[in-house]
Amino acid sequence: MYTFNPGPSQVYPQVRQYLQDAFDEGWLSAPHRGERFTGLMRQTVTELKNKLNVPQDYTVFFMNSATECWEVLTQSLTPRKSFHLYSGAFGEKWYEYAKALRPATIGIPFGPDELPDVAALPLPDPEIDLVCITQNETSNATQLRDGFILNLYNRLGNSLLAVDATSSLGGIQMKYIKADVWYASVQKCFGLPAGLSLMILSPRAVDRFRQINERSHYNSLTAQYEKMLNYQTTHTPNVLNIYLLSRVLQDREPIKVVHQHLQERATKLYDYFTQDTKLTPLITNPDTRSTTVIGLQAAPAVIDEVKRRALAQGLQLGNGYGSWKAGSLRIANFPAIPDEAFEQLVQFFAREFA
């Protein structure tokens, strides 16, 4: 069975051996304040920065999920309000959650086939602490590319830029210096089980939360930073998943190689479905299509039939999401999914739904 569900998604086949090694090496009962664990944390952070080209002066935190990051960022980096640009369900949920904690928060939606006019945005604004975008919107298979993020970053003024890269971090090569906060979960492009997230912060973001010095919450960034100086966490961490992440990073190609591979696969899929097939790309604008989550649309009855027949042949396709649920499906293009799976998928569509 190959799963193309966009999260939790296919795990690397090596994870089976990693799990056995973790058990044999005693990681399942390793104390998280001991030198052995802090050595693992140091190694994992080093591997992450090297394999993903993260600047050495950026700080890495480990949390439980990407959605936890919404709360932490609002509590520790947003004393007044944040500004959210969103085209899909997860960007909108981030906005709604932030607004519940900071009522002055602003949100501007845009269409999945559109790119916002950066020059027309209400920026810079000295009252906005954090500008928030979703680099890869899992719900509707859209993506904001480097050029847009760069243009937005240049208009920030004193605001910080936070990027949800949940379904692209680890698969796409990012220009980390063009934002202050990046976060993601490991159950997508890192090919691991759910239960761990990463947050990567620029020196500017670190300086900002240290100035704010918010300490009212257990997982405040200030408290987490003080622990990470010694490669520890405020909370009991997911030691197993951190160990698995360290092993995956050691065995993976550098991000430049991974990025190129995923881009080539995505291009082949989009090229195939823009031909005369029963399913067509959900996103009509090539400039806003995601590399790591491919959305396809058709009549709801066709979508149901496609998913049913694919599953019978060992290919689990992802459901549509939110308002796109009935008339679309999603295909994860994550590094852990082998090329053989995509070859079988294209052959299935050519045979059954051409």
What does DSSP say about strands 328-332 and 293-297: parallel, antiparallel, or unpaired? antiparallel
Is the pLDDT at 21 greater than 80? The verdict is yes
**Cα–Cα distances in Å, from 307 out to 40, 69, 245?**
41, 33, 31
Residues paired with 142 in a beta bridge: 137, 289
- pTM for the predicted model, two decimal places: 0.95
The Cα–Cα gap between 328 and 325 comes to: 6
Is the pLDDT at 188 greater than 70? The verdict is yes
pLDDT of residue 275: 86
Question: For 108-133, how does the pLDDT look when each residue is reduced to its tens digit (9 = 90+)?
Answer: 999 999 999 999 999 999 999 999 99
What percent of the chain lies above the pLDDT cut of 70?
99
Q: b vs e for 97-120, b when ≥16 Cβ sit within 10 Å of the residue's Cβ?
A: bbbeebeebbbeebebbebbebee
Quick one: average pLDDT of 79-96? 97
DSSP letter assigned to residue 289: B
Instruction: Indicate the range of 104-108, 232-236, 261-265 predicted with least confidence.
Output: 232-236
Is the pLDDT at 215 greater than 70? The verdict is yes
C-beta of residue 49 within 8 angstroms of C-beta of residue 42: no
Residues 6+ apart with CB under 8 A from 128: 80, 81, 82, 83, 106, 159
Report which of 246, 258, 287, 257 is spatially closest to residue 270, judged by C-alpha positions.
287
Is the pLDDT at 328 greater than 70? The verdict is yes
pLDDT of residue 235: 92
Is the pLDDT at 193 greater than 70? The verdict is yes
Is the pLDDT at 281 greater than 90? The verdict is yes
DSSP letter assigned to residue 228: H
Q: Pull the structure tokens for residue 288.
A: 């806003």
Identity (one letter) of the amino acid at 352?
Answer: E
161 sits in which H/E element: strand 160-164
Quick one: average pLDDT of 82-98? 97
Q: Given pLDDT bands bounded at 50, 70 and 90, which one contains residue 278?
A: confident
Is the pLDDT at 322 greater than 90? The verdict is no
pLDDT of residue 7: 81
C-beta of residue 83 within 8 angstroms of C-beta of residue 233: no
Is the pLDDT at 352 greater than 90? The verdict is no
Is the pLDDT at 353 greater than 80? The verdict is no
Is the pLDDT at 142 greater than 70? The verdict is yes
Q: Given pLDDT bands bounded at 50, 70 and 90, which one contains residue 158?
A: very high
pLDDT of residue 124: 96
Is the pLDDT at 18 greater than 80? The verdict is yes
Q: Which domains does the chain have, with CATH numbers?
A: 2-8+254-352 (3.90.1150.10), 15-251 (3.40.640.10)
C-beta of residue 161 within 8 angstroms of C-beta of residue 153: yes
What does DSSP say about strands 106-109 and 81-86: parallel, antiparallel, or unpaired? parallel
Quick one: average pLDDT of 265-292? 93
Positive or negative, the CA dihedral 85, 120, 292, 312 is positive
Angle at 143 between CA 195 and CA 72, to 5 degrees: 40
The Cα–Cα gap between 191 and 187 comes to: 6
Is the pLDDT at 354 greater than 70? The verdict is no
Q: Which of helix, strand or coil describes residue 176?
A: helix
pLDDT of residue 282: 96
Quick one: average pLDDT of 27-35? 93
C-beta of residue 225 within 8 angstroms of C-beta of residue 63: no
What percent of the chain lies above the pLDDT cut of 90?
95
